[in-house]
Structure 1
């Protein structure tokens, strides 16, 4: 019998069980043994794949629910291509292949309605139906039933296993954005802005994208990167492009002056750090003498990223709070814009620039599989 082509994978029917199990294990970053831990599987709104009432009775609905660390959200992947919780399998009701068929918990029987493949796009797919695990009506409400549906690429069909990020590629740094997601966000980025440089900089501000719920962590990472993208043309520009501005960024009234030169403190890095007093403050905070050597921000990727994180985590700018606090305390993405460039953009001053930042944020939250939240505008 000829092989069956399935979303770019050719699986001979006799080898489906073995191949599906191996692929699940590989993309969930665990070995393909009898039953290896995956832990929680998060999706829309940062919520978890959950067994209703933590019941292992046949027919128990599988739903979306706040992540709580319970056994009802502790999944394993088996070498036979099944996903298991509470000793039973994720199962499509009545072996249906129709859009909208709900999923449930059921005794593991080896049927095709209990087989799942995880692909690099973070879809969990049933090969028999050639359909994706889907959050019904794109709702983030607790108790929303999960189902299968024609694969659309939408966020309500994107999943991330604990210990993995973005297509199952582990992020050793623990950062909520995987390298593959970072590359997806910035396909045309300057090679200077490395993912390793970003993750190396995280140690300077360990609370960044690491405070609050999984949803808040992802929202903060998306918000930071969205503003960075706007400031740098998609991580293309390392230095300010208008060289005529360069001499303007020296405030001679500061007691320390401008030891690197009148025109040395132009915009650099992901937040386009500028002015001698900002280089002095950032350098003091980071333990780097940026006042004497501001060029380090354009020479060293990790230093550049650290300056961006310094501003994000410690500076109110023209706003009333740091961008970090705006996201952690649920003030909303709009307040991060206000803290970065609110005096020029917010309150109707430049709505096109505000919208550009929001568009980036909405795109990045979609990549991270999380809702953008409220209060997007400033």
Structure 2
């Protein structure tokens, strides 16, 4: 199929139908054994009881991270994905210019797996960047709102102490923290390919902490069910890892791109839970998640977490053939039907292929039942 996507997301085709560029990937291997900062309420508090805050709640690269009165907004909600990073607004706490010098400021930046985005929490309440062997520090020991945070040689001072409980902060139930337990996942996909592991999916969640973690408990479960129902349809129940029609493989190289197809003419075929295809989509996905998928597209079929991240990238960032992301469709209660439109609307919606739409809806209804929630309205597109 071919879908014309929003600007910046080019067309994508695969196996006789297309899907708006499913995309991508990547957290690099964990370099340190860590207990990242994560309070039960998502806040990290320090000097004068104030919070680690993203200035202006701005998710742009380079946004200052500062001290500010705690206000419960997403600008102060930090997640602990378990890979040594600290994340807010979908991005990582980052030391500017990879500096290891005293006084180097910290900021928000796309997660890249770099050592300047790794943090550990000591039993004494220090948040340490191991690469610099320095502590997260409040500049000039000031408790004024908007005081910039930086790294500095660890001194034990109050401006370097943080209320940052160890990973997982509170809560019982599913140890993974995901609204879908491993038993429920296995119930959803009884015949799945062993490649699509639950652990790989849980690892991938750190790339998009808002996924299945926004709104009420019902909405969180509905979003997880919606994503997995569409993935179920795209992969035949998590059976297929790669596109089955090998005759199509050479088709997905656009030599009009300045970077060409360095992995080979036939290297950019559909892979993963929403079948990432075309050289320009591998390039975009790799750039977004900080790994080189253009030169190594095989990562998507060899690394389960990378494969899952490709699907989550598309779900959380692309409007595809629709007008909203899959994430926004559920969180804003537009309904499951809008997720179908985003993923394959140009070939399935508005009566084009009702059987395919019904297949997706049936899976969604089944998965919401497993999770114990109502599917909501507007199921069809």
User: TM-score normalized by structure 1?
Assistant: 0.55
Question: Residue 177 of structure 1: CA displacement?
Answer: 0.2
Give the match for residue 336 of structure 1: 339
What residue is the counterpart of 1:314 in the other structure?
317
1:246 aligns with 2:246: no
Distance in 1 (alpha carbons) for counterparts of 2:367 and 2:288: 29
**Partner in structure 2 of residue 365 of structure 1:** 368
- The alpha carbon displacement at 1:191 in A equals 0.4
Higher Rg of the two aligned structures: 1
2:359 paired residue among 353, 356, 360: 356
Q: Which has the higher strand share?
A: 1
Deviations 1:186-235 (A, max 9, x none): 00000000000000000000000000000100000000000000000000
Tell me, in whole angstroms, the C-alpha distance in 2 between the residues paired with 1:173 and 1:253: 43
Once the two structures are TM-superposed, the CA of residue 277 in structure 1 deviates from its matched residue by 1.2
Name the count of aligned residue pairs.
212
Partner of 2:258: 255
Moved over 3 A (4+): none
- Gap regions ≥5 residues in structure 2: 1-169
| Cα distance in 1 between the residues matched to 2:261 and 2:174 | 40
Answering whether residue 223 of structure 2 is matched by residue 220 of structure 1, we say yes
| Distance (Å, rounded) in 2 between the aligned partners of 1:245 and 1:194 | 27
Say whether 1:281 aligns with 2:263: no
Question: 1:126-151: CA deviations, max 9, x gaps?
Answer: xxxxxxxxxxxxxxxxxxxxxxxxxx
Alpha-carbon shift at residue 171 of structure 1 (Å): 2.3
Taking structure 2 as the reference length, the TM-score comes to 0.55
Higher relative contact order (CA 8 A, sep 6+): 2
Distance in 2, Cα, partners of 1:244 & 1:171: 43
Q: Does 1:265 align with 2:265?
A: no
SS at match of 2:206: helix
Q: Which residue of 2 aligns with 1:237?
A: 240
Offset at residue 333 of structure 1 (A): 0.4
Structure 2 residue aligned with 1:188 = 191
Q: CA deviation at 1:281?
A: 1.0
**Cα distance in 2 for residues equivalent to 1:269 and 1:291:** 15
Superposition RMSD in Å? 1.1
SS at match of 2:262: coil
Structure 1 unaligned segments of length 5 or more: list them: 1-161, 165-169
Structure 1 CA distance for aligned equivalents of residues 176 and 290 of structure 2: 22
Distance 2:306 2:257 in 1: 24
CA shift for structure 1 position 163: 4.6
Deviation string 1:89-116 (CA, Å, 9 cap, x unpaired) is xxxxxxxxxxxxxxxxxxxxxxxxxxxx
Deviation track 1:281-302 (CA, whole Å, cap 9, x = no partner) reads 1111111110100000000000
Q: How far has the Cα of 1:263 moved from its partner? A: 0.9
- Whose helix proportion is higher, 1 or 2? 1
Deviation, 1:344, is: 0.8
Distance 1:206 1:247 in 2: 35
Offset at residue 250 of structure 1 (A):
1.1
Where 1:304 maps in the other structure, the secondary structure is helix
